[in-house]
Amino acid sequence: MTRKLSLKEAERQAWALHLRDGLWDILLGMLLLGTAIRTVADNLWWYLLLVVAVPIYLAGRRFITIPRMGRVEFGLPRKRKQRKTMVVLGAAVLATLVLWGLAVSWKVPSGSVGSTMLVVATIVVLGATAYWSDLKRLYVYGLLLGGAIALTEFVGEPIGPIAFCVSGAVPLLVGFVMLIRFLVEYPIPPEELPDQEGLSGNC
């Protein structure tokens, strides 16, 4: 089947190609799972997942993705979308920390209006991120996480923490499957590619 031919679609496809490695999913999965497991297992080692997630993502991009997929710099519209995503995610993390701090200090009970707002905010933030980053599977992750938070807040143990762990395990698993497929589909090209010397001399 031929692909849809439009410039917007071409840009989206270039962006999707750039994210085919599954590393973003692995990063999200590690962050969620690290946070989730902490709630069920009282062991500081799980914090390690949170600490190593970003370095693993950056190393993966550098040593796995770029040698196989090459480098690309996107245009202004995509950069604007990326900036919006970063601002929304940054604001969400900040708001979560502030709300968590307030909830702890004021001893807000589970299942309150605040909990409902947290669920809605989670879904909205991940939905907005999915929209701006053209990552449709983020909608599913957002719903899973929103559902897990709702179960944690309104149902409690043991279903809540288990659902929370599942919401982290799903992106992690999807990311690993994508990474394996990426490694098989895109082997490192032979050394004679002109990137090392420049094109003019080789063409």
Residues that bind another protein (CB under 8 A): 7, 10-11, 13-14, 17, 68-76, 78, 186, 189, 192-200, 202-203
Q: Cβ 182 to another protein, closest distance in Å?
A: 11
Query: By C-beta, is 158 or 198 nearer to another protein?
Result: 198
Contacts of residue 23, Cβ cutoff 8 Å, sequence gap at least 6: 57, 60, 61, 64, 65, 175, 179
Distance CA(22)–CA(135), nearest Å, equals 11
137-154 and 113-133 are packed helices; what angle lies between their axes, rounded to 10 degrees? 170
Tell me phi and psi for residue 191, to 5 degrees: -60, -25
- Look-up: residue for tokens 């993966």? 60
- Residue 154 · residue 111 · CB < 8 Å: yes
Work out how close the CB of 110 gets to another protein at its nearest, in angstroms, rounded to a whole number.
47
Tokens representing 168? 């982290």
Q: How far is the CB of 12 from another protein (least distance, A)?
A: 9
CB burial of residue 191 (10 Å; 0-12, 13-18, 19+) = exposed
Query: Please, which residue, 20 or 137, has the CB nearer to another protein?
Result: 20
Q: What tokens does 103 get?
A: 């909830």
| Nearest CB to another protein, comparing residues 7 and 113 | 7
C-beta closer to another protein: residue 3 or 107: 3
Closest approach, Cβ 195 to another protein, in A, equals 5
Six token digits for residue 12 = 């989206």
Residue 53 CB, shortest distance to another protein, in Å, is 24
Nearer to another protein, 9 or 157 (CB): 9
